[in-house]
Structure 1
Amino acid sequence: MDSESGMHSADEKLDSHQKGSYHVTTAHEVAERGHVATDRYGQSLIQFDPKVEARLRLKIDFYIIPTVSLLYLFCFIDRSNIGNAKLAGLEEDLGLTGNDYNAVLSVFYISYIIFEIPSTMACKWFGPGWYIPALTLCFGICSVGTAFANNIQAISGIRFLLGMFEAAMMPGTAYYLSRWYRRSELTFRLSLYIIMAPLAGAFGGLLASGILSLNNFGSLHTWRMLFAIEGIITCSLSVIGFFTLTDRPETAWWLSQEEKDLAIARVKSERIATTEVLDSIDVPKVLRGIFNPVTLANSFIFLLDNITVQGLAFFAPTIVKTIYPKNSVISQQLHTVPPYVVGAFCTLVFCFLSWRFDHRLFAYFITPPLTMAGYVMFLASTEPHVRYGATFLITSGAFAFGALCNAHVSANVVSDTARSAAIGTNVMLGNIGGLVATWSFLPFDTPNYHIGNGLNLAAAATTLLIAVVLYLWIKRDNRQREKRDVEGELAQLTEKEIQDLDWKHPAFKWRF
């Protein structure tokens, strides 16, 4: 059975080709511009053969996920390898004293936050198939440039550029995947590239220990080799990305026409009043994405979580050094690996369950207590093995939010424009937490870091509180929406005005 015949057989199961006031069509017709795929109540006008969908989904997974995952892996390595470089003598060579290292970290987040939304909207404008590999090439060049920095001014300037080019990588990739997957599928697919953040900690530690065992790389020595070699790898991967990433289903050379129609129709069937999946950018939809209540709540949760995630990225090697101060630098680097591997595994588990149950908020209740328990152990004990064990709990609870928050804001907007704005807002506000993280572990607080550990404990506890409030608010607002007169509210509106309503559409329901 080919994909089109699979859909025709599904259509025949419907009682007549009418649903509400809309004509139920084939996937090919639904995929064309100007056609809606839902009735006024948000119900899909077309049914799909699950087996045909599963084959298409696997094909999309195979062609897209490996490339975006590799690009994001080295995006995070190029951002966080400064933590490994710190152990290898970066501060001494550049003359950094006091809080200079924290200031250098902060510069990255200043540009990262400023360019977050503009760069994500540019990703939609230029097309992610070109834009994401281009950004990867640029921040790879920045990584190579860091190898030649000789003072705080030089490394600060390079870190500013690095933040500018990396700004759209997480939201841009999340937005890109939303062009291909249903809302229930998106969380797990996001996790397949977002686990590259904890794996970057693991792989970055292994890679750093291997590179630092070299005598030299050309004229470069010690920490400078890290930036040069890892930057060259990043640039090479970006070239691969230019050839392997395709903007959207319509331009995918590896899909047949029937598969393209199915890919478009199944995404469209979840978007109420949508006549085209890739709509033009307009201000009302951008504002709907930014000021969506679920977007703002998730953004604050992501902000709090990033205090932990980004803090681990930059300070995990330093924390491990305080636990095992007598070990060699290479041994300390290797000790950072296992907690990240466990964190990556837990991220996959939580996100897989989210996909299967089409529910994201349940993980918001499970993961913060793990992080809280880890920081309680840090605060309550100075025993090295207890503290090292605590890092496993922290990574188990912290890393899933990258996928969960982006998937949740994506599931709670309608238009493509609102989605890109919502994801950009989520990551922009979230990375304010990264800026806070750069000042959470300060030199005067060593070796026990009571301030940093206490801050992270408070952030995890607040995350749990906000998640509970968000869940209760969604349940309450959905009950109120059930009482609205959909036909009456839409009667006098034009098609454009109905589409611009986005989540304010009377038939829209919040997703958990």
Structure 2
Amino acid sequence: MADEKRVPSSDSSKAGAQHTEATGGGGIDAAAERGHAATDQFGQPLVQFDPKAEARLRRKLDLYLVPTVSLLYLFCFIDRANIGNAKIAGLEKDLGMSGYDYNALLSVFYISYIVFEIPSNIMCKWIGPGWFIPAISLGFGVVSLLTAYVHNFAEAAGVRFVLGIFEAGMMPGIAYYLSRWYRRSELTFRLSLYIVMAPLAGAFGGLLASGILTLDHVGGLRGWRMIFAVEGIITIGLSCISFLTLTDRPETARWLTQEEKDLAIARVKSERVATTEVLDKMDVKKLLQGILSPVTMSTAFMFLLNNITVQGLAFFAPTIVRTIYPDKSTVTQQLFTVPPYVVGGFFTLVLPLISWRFDTRQIIIILTTPLVIVGYSMFLGTTNPSARYAATFLLSSSLFAVGPLSNSQVSANVVSDTARSSAIGLNVMMGNIGGLIATWSYLPWDSPNYHIGNGLNLAACCTVLLVATATLFWMKWDNKRRDGHNVEEELAGMSRQEIQDLDWKHPAFRWRP
């Protein structure tokens, strides 16, 4: 936000006179219309909103938007990570896999996932998330079902590659979709409400796999094949329902009154300096603004490192548990993977809730690192089964919260809708490069203690701590530097469109830690 000391007194008075109370309605109507800015040139909102009206709107948005995207993401993550459950249920033996074949199978998924990440989010903006998200969900549900019918490594690699194409747009697509509806302080917690499905997928996926494996058969399928078939069918059903329940944007939401639509649009615009429309036209310059933002690049690098540990835990938790409890049955080993993920789900909600309360994300990202550092130190420092199992709880307590925090952080530190789509796309793409690295972090010859995998994850988490801290200090330094700029002088002679295109380079823009 602009520093009030830099605003001449006459301009400050004028800006104050332009503020309109939400109860009047007219100010919100104007702020919601295309071509009308909701902030002055100093980034100050021109409309004040009734907190009670905002609270009612938030509850309605939470009810209509969050449950559907959360369920879709739950089965997105299950359909991706259930290969870990299938592995200890006989997948490797049945497909004739050996050596590094399992690691290669995981890598194939991430190759397509990474390549299609940013293009998928651009397509999401172009087509509209109300259609795009259900369509890709249906796609990966069908592919999961087809995985039940593979008979060799080549076929399995083929379906995993296609699975990566469909799942690439899911996490960034939902994050971008919710950014159309919520303020920056509210967004982190709403992102956590669907990203929490990642640790819950570990818990629920383990329970579901255990339950499925107790069945004699599903149709003509037996063993690990039943896991892919049942979970794929559930995903297909949820995807068909979501075509009816997801709404693209506030203007097309039949479940909002006109007053609520205006409020939903105006309050999002009020946080975007110099913006005259929430959904701007897509162009290359704005896409690059989102990608090249210093905070986007820093946060994306941190998410890459974080995702090495997240995906490593998701894919190898069943294997780690088997090395700790080798004498337990397969079903029991599956069940031992559940409790750490339940703990992870709890903290994935609590940390973003704190972020919402204090409207900060960078400090919370920094605070996610200490327990993870301790957890991987325990993996490296002891072979005691009880201590190593306890370490998995420390890991899951902090790892998953970085997902909503990082996506919310890149969203909060760009202005236009187009820049937001590319910033989130880059963040998730980098995160999944971390996932690709994770597929090779736990190598067969390094078992049962996996010194290389655990050492890599410890180093990654320590680097996140250093980068996150350095970024926080840089954001504060650059904000102070911007305070010395004269906004009127720098904007003099520029057209409205040129001012909008400045995005985070606008002199009144401030980084939001």
TM-score if structure 2 supplies the norm length? 0.96
Match of 1:314 in 2: 315
Q: Distance in 1 between matches of 2:13 and 2:127?
A: 38
Match of 1:478 in 2: 479
SS in 1 for 2:507: coil
Match of 1:288 in 2: 289
In the TM superposition, residue 138 of structure 1 has moved relative to its aligned partner by: 0.2
Contact 1:40–1:273 (8 Å) recurs in 2 = yes
Aligned with residue 15 of structure 2, among 12, 19, 24: 19
Residues 1:254 and 2:255 aligned together: yes
Match of 1:400 in 2: 401
Contact 1:343–1:396 (8 Å) recurs in 2 = yes
Residues 1:196 and 2:197 aligned together: yes
Residues 1:87 and 2:88 aligned together: yes
- Equivalent runs, 1:456-471 vs 2, <5 Å: 456-471=457-472
Residues 1:105 and 2:101 aligned together: no
Match of 1:297 in 2: 298
In the TM superposition, residue 23 of structure 1 has moved relative to its aligned partner by: 7.5
Match of 1:4 in 2: none
SS in 1 for 2:449: coil
Q: Distance in 2 between matches of 1:260 and 1:285?
A: 26
Contact 2:76–2:137 (8 Å) recurs in 1 = yes
Contact 2:199–2:341 (8 Å) recurs in 1 = yes
Contact 1:187–1:407 (8 Å) recurs in 2 = yes
Instruction: Specify the code of the residue in structure 1 equivalent to 2:101.
Output: D
Q: Which segments of 5 or more consecutive residues in structure 2 lack a partner in the other structure? A: 1-10, 21-25
Q: Which segments of 5 or more consecutive residues in structure 1 lack a partner in the other structure? A: 1-14
Contact 1:21–1:39 (8 Å) recurs in 2 = no
Q: Distance in 2 between matches of 1:502 and 1:233?
A: 42
In the TM superposition, residue 188 of structure 1 has moved relative to its aligned partner by: 0.2
Q: Distance in 1 between matches of 2:210 and 2:244?
A: 32
Match of 2:171 in 1: 170
Contact 1:132–1:172 (8 Å) recurs in 2 = yes
In the TM superposition, residue 21 of structure 1 has moved relative to its aligned partner by: 9.5
Contact 1:198–1:399 (8 Å) recurs in 2 = yes
Give the direction of change, closer, same or farther, for the CA distance of 1:242–1:50 in structure 2 (3 Å limit).
Answer: same
SS in 1 for 2:267: helix
Match of 1:96 in 2: 97
Q: Distance in 1 between matches of 2:85 and 2:396?
A: 18
In the TM superposition, residue 20 of structure 1 has moved relative to its aligned partner by: 7.0
Contact 1:183–1:411 (8 Å) recurs in 2 = yes
Match of 1:233 in 2: 234
Contact 1:136–1:166 (8 Å) recurs in 2 = yes
Residues 1:45 and 2:41 aligned together: no
Any idea what the Cα deviations from partners look like across 1:298-328, whole Å, max 9, x if unmatched? 0000000000111111110000000000000
Match of 2:217 in 1: 216
In the TM superposition, residue 256 of structure 1 has moved relative to its aligned partner by: 0.3
- Equivalent runs, 1:291-440 vs 2, <5 Å: 291-440=292-441
Any idea what the Cα deviations from partners look like across 1:344-387, whole Å, max 9, x if unmatched? 10111100000000001121221111101000011111110000
SS in 1 for 2:368: helix
Match of 1:12 in 2: none
Any idea what the Cα deviations from partners look like across 1:169-214, whole Å, max 9, x if unmatched? 0000000000000000000000000000000000000000000000
TM-score if structure 1 supplies the norm length? 0.96
SS in 1 for 2:429: helix
Contact 2:363–2:472 (8 Å) recurs in 1 = no
Give the direction of change, closer, same or farther, for the CA distance of 1:454–1:113 in structure 2 (3 Å limit).
Answer: same
Instruction: Specify the code of the residue in structure 2 equivalent to 1:383.
Output: N
Across the two proteins, how many residue pairs are aligned to each other?
498
Q: Distance in 2 between matches of 1:220 and 1:22?
A: 68
In the TM superposition, residue 451 of structure 1 has moved relative to its aligned partner by: 0.3
SS in 2 for 1:89: helix
SS in 1 for 2:282: coil
Q: Distance in 1 between matches of 2:232 and 2:332?
A: 24
Instruction: Specify the code of the residue in structure 1 equivalent to 2:425.
Output: G
Match of 2:4 in 1: none
Match of 1:127 in 2: 128
In the TM superposition, residue 237 of structure 1 has moved relative to its aligned partner by: 0.2
- Equivalent runs, 1:243-282 vs 2, <5 Å: 243-282=244-283
Any idea what the Cα deviations from partners look like across 1:415-472, whole Å, max 9, x if unmatched? 0000000000000111100000000001000000000000000000000000110011
- Equivalent runs, 1:21-36 vs 2, <5 Å: 26-36=27-37
Q: Distance in 2 between matches of 1:427 and 1:413?
A: 16
Q: Distance in 2 between matches of 1:42 and 1:463?
A: 31
In the TM superposition, residue 399 of structure 1 has moved relative to its aligned partner by: 0.6
Q: Distance in 2 between matches of 1:138 and 1:495?
A: 42
Contact 1:441–1:449 (8 Å) recurs in 2 = yes
Post-superposition, which runs of at least 4 consecutive aligned residues in structure 1 deviate over 4 A? 15-18, 20-25
Q: Distance in 2 between matches of 1:245 and 1:27?
A: 25
Any idea what the Cα deviations from partners look like across 1:267-314, whole Å, max 9, x if unmatched? 000000101100010111100000000000000000000001111111
SS in 2 for 1:321: helix
Q: Distance in 2 between matches of 1:263 and 1:397?
A: 32
Q: Distance in 2 between matches of 1:214 and 1:328?
A: 15
SS in 2 for 1:98: coil
Q: Distance in 1 between matches of 2:503 and 2:27?
A: 25
Q: Distance in 1 between matches of 2:78 and 2:14?
A: 53
In the TM superposition, residue 26 of structure 1 has moved relative to its aligned partner by: 1.2
Instruction: Specify the code of the residue in structure 1 equivalent to 2:255.
Output: W
In the TM superposition, residue 485 of structure 1 has moved relative to its aligned partner by: 1.0
- Equivalent runs, 1:437-448 vs 2, <5 Å: 437-448=438-449
Q: Distance in 2 between matches of 1:244 and 1:18?
A: 44
Match of 2:138 in 1: 137
SS in 2 for 1:217: coil
Instruction: Specify the code of the residue in structure 2 equivalent to 1:397.
Output: S
Q: Distance in 2 between matches of 1:432 and 1:246?
A: 31
SS in 1 for 2:44: coil
Match of 2:7 in 1: none
SS in 2 for 1:96: coil
In the TM superposition, residue 17 of structure 1 has moved relative to its aligned partner by: 9.8
Instruction: Specify the code of the residue in structure 2 equivalent to 1:393.
Output: L
Q: Distance in 2 between matches of 1:488 and 1:17?
A: 19
Contact 1:17–1:23 (8 Å) recurs in 2 = no
Q: Distance in 2 between matches of 1:342 and 1:22?
A: 48
Contact 1:179–1:248 (8 Å) recurs in 2 = yes
Instruction: Specify the code of the residue in structure 2 equivalent to 1:388.
Output: Y
Q: Distance in 2 between matches of 1:384 and 1:290?
A: 44
SS in 1 for 2:262: helix
Match of 1:9 in 2: none
Contact 1:20–1:39 (8 Å) recurs in 2 = no
Any idea what the Cα deviations from partners look like across 1:110-153, whole Å, max 9, x if unmatched? 00000000000000000000100000000000000100011111
In the TM superposition, residue 19 of structure 1 has moved relative to its aligned partner by: 1.3
Instruction: Specify the code of the residue in structure 1 equivalent to 2:212.
Output: I
SS in 2 for 1:264: helix
Give the direction of change, closer, same or farther, for the CA distance of 1:492–1:336 in structure 2 (3 Å limit).
Answer: same
Contact 1:285–1:417 (8 Å) recurs in 2 = yes
Identity of aligned residues (%): 68
SS in 1 for 2:415: coil
Q: Distance in 2 between matches of 1:35 and 1:157?
A: 50
